[in-house]
C-alpha cells in the first residue's frame, strides 16, 4: 500500500509542478523515488510539525498544492490547532498524510500509537478524511484527494494486510465499497486494516456482507441507508478508538435517518491505553482486535440477540 502511495504521489507531482511534498524528517526510504523524480518539489521541514503545517498553509495561499507527511501521532494529532486555524479555517488545498495510524508503531508505546486521529479531526469544518484499506483503495483515495478543492486528511496504516479488491477502482466522495456479499441481515462495515479482518471472517465461513469505507468524511447517508436496509445488525470494525471513529459516524448517521434502523455495534479500541509494548500482532490481541477474538465477540453479540452469522 505504501508503494501505491509513493507511485501516486510521484505521478501527480510529475504532472503538476505545484505539488510540493513536506516531511517532518520522516519517510526517507519511502520518498527515494519522489526525490529522484522531483527533487525541487521536496522540502524537509525537520522535527517541527507545527511549523511545517504553517509553511504548508503559506505555500497553499501562494498557489501551491502542499502534501504534508508525518506519523499519524504527530500529523494530525500534535498539530491539530494549526490544521484547524491555518488550513481548515482558510479552506486551503493541503493534503495531510498520517502514516502509521493504529498500532503499527507498536514497540514505541503510546506516544507513537495513533488511535484518536479520526475522532479529533472529524469536527473540523471542511476537512475530508480518507482511510484506504489496500493498494487499490490507496490509488483511488489519492486521486480523490487531489481532485478535492479543500483540505484532506489521509489516514495510512503502515502495516500492509494484503489486497481486499482484485482490480483498480474509482471512488466517489462518501461512498462505501462492497467487498463480500453473504448475508444482508448481518453487515460488517470496516475501514483501513480492519477491512482485511472482516474479509477473513467471511471467507472463513461467517455469513455476513462486508463493506469497506475509504471515505469517512464525508460519509454518504443515502449509501448507509441502502446498506442498512433489511439488516438486523451492523458491526463496525476499526483500528481506532470506538469513541468518535467510524462506528460513531455510522451510528450517528443511521440515527439521523430515523426509525427502523439496524442495531450498530462498535468494535475498536476501548477507552484505555495499551498496557504493554510488543509486536503489532500482540497489540491487536491485547485490544481484542485479532481476527479470532473479533469473531467470538460478534458471535457472542448475535447469540444474545438471537441473530446468526455462521
- Whole-structure pTM value: 0.96
The CA distance from 212 to 74, in Å, is 26
Domain 177-303 has CATH 3.20.20.140: no
152-156, strands of its sheet edge to edge: 42-44, 19-23, 65-71, 95-99, 152-156, 128-130, 215-217
Q: How far, in whole angstroms, is CA 80 from its chain's centroid?
A: 17
pLDDT tens column, 238-255: 999 999 999 999 999 998
For domain 2-156, give the fold: Rossmann fold (3.40.50)
The fraction of the chain above a pLDDT of 70, given in percent, is 97
User: What span, in angstroms and rounded, lies between the C-alpha atoms of 157 and 248?
Assistant: 20
d(CA 147, CA 140): 11
- Model pLDDT, residue 103: 94
Q: Between these two residues, 157 and 234, which has the higher pLDDT value?
A: 234
Q: What is the pLDDT of residue 159?
A: 65
- Stronger pLDDT, 261 or 100, i.e. the higher one: 100
What confidence score (pLDDT) does residue 230 get? 86
Region 122-138: mean pLDDT is 97
Span 227-237, pLDDT tens digits: 998 899 999 99
Domain boundaries, the chain: 2-156, 177-303
pLDDT of 305 > 90? The answer is no
* C-alpha–C-alpha distance, residues 175 and 191, integer Å: 12
Give the pLDDT score at 157. Answer: 84
Residue 310 reports pLDDT greater than 60: no
pLDDT tier at 307, thresholds 50, 70, 90? low
Residue 97 has pLDDT above 70, yes or no: yes
> Does 177-303 match 2-156 at the fold level?
yes
Which pLDDT does position 161 carry in this prediction? 83
Question: % helix / strand / coil in the chain, to the nearest 5?
Answer: 40, 20, 40
pLDDT per position as a tens digit, 40-51: 999 999 999 999
- The pLDDT score that the predictor gives to residue 258 is 76
Look at residue 200 and tell me whether its pLDDT is greater than 90: yes
What 3-state class would DSSP assign to 277?
Answer: coil
Q: How many CA atoms lie within 13 A of 290 on its CB side?
A: 10
Amino acid at each position: 500500500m505504501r508503494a501505491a502511495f509513493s507511485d501516486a504521489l510521484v505521478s501527480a507531482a510529475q504532472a503538476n509542478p505545484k505539488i510540493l511534498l513536506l516531511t517532518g524528517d520522516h519517510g526517507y526510504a519511502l520518498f527515494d523515488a519522489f526525490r529522484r523524480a522531483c527533487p525541487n518539489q521536496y522540502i524537509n521541514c525537520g522535527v517541527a510539525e507545527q511549523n511545517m503545517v504553517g509553511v504548508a498553509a503559506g505555500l497553499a495561499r501562494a498557489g501551491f498544492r502542499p502534501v504534508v507527511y508525518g506519523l499519524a501521532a504527530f500529523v494530525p494529532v500534535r498539530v491539530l490547532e494549526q490544521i484547524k486555524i491555518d488550513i481548515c479555517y482558510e479552506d486551503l488545498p493541503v493534503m495531510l498524510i498520517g502514516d502509521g495510524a493504529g498500532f503499527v508503531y507498536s514497540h514505541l508505546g503510546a506516544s507513537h500509537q495513533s488511535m484518536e486521529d479520526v475522532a479529533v479531526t472529524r469536527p473540523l469544518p471542511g476537512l475530508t478524511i480518507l482511510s484506504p484499506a489496500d493498494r487499490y483503495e490507496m490509488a483511488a483515495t489519492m486521486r480523490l484527494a487531489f481532485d478535492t478543492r479543500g483540505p484532506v486528511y489521509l489516514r495510512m496504516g503502515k502495516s500492509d494486510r494484503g489486497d481486499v479488491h482484485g482490480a483498480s477502482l474509482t471512488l466517489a466522495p462518501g461512498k462505501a465499497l462492497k467487498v463480500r456479499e453473504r448475508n444482508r441481515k448481518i453487515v460488517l462495515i470496516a475501514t483501513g486494516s480492519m477491512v482485511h479482518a472482516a474479509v477473513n471472517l467471511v471467507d472463513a465461513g461467517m455469513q455476513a456482507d462486508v463493506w469497506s469505507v475509504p471515505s469517512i468524511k464525508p460519509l454518504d447517508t443515502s449509501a448507509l441507508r441502502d446498506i442498512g436496509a433489511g439488516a438486523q445488525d451492523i458491526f463496525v470494525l476499526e483500528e481506532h478508538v470506538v469513541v468518535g471513529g467510524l462506528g460513531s459516524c455510522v451510528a450517528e448517521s443511521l440515527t439521523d435517518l430515523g426509525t427502523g434502523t439496524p442495531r450498530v455495534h462498535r468494535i475498536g479500541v476501548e477507552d484505555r491505553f495499551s498496557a504493554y509494548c510488543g509486536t503489532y500482532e500482540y497489540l491487536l490481541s491485547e485490544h481484542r482486535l485479532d481476527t479470532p477474538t473479533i469473531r467470538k465477540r460478534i458471535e457472542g453479540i448475535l447469540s444474545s440477540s438471537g441473530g446468526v452469522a455462521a
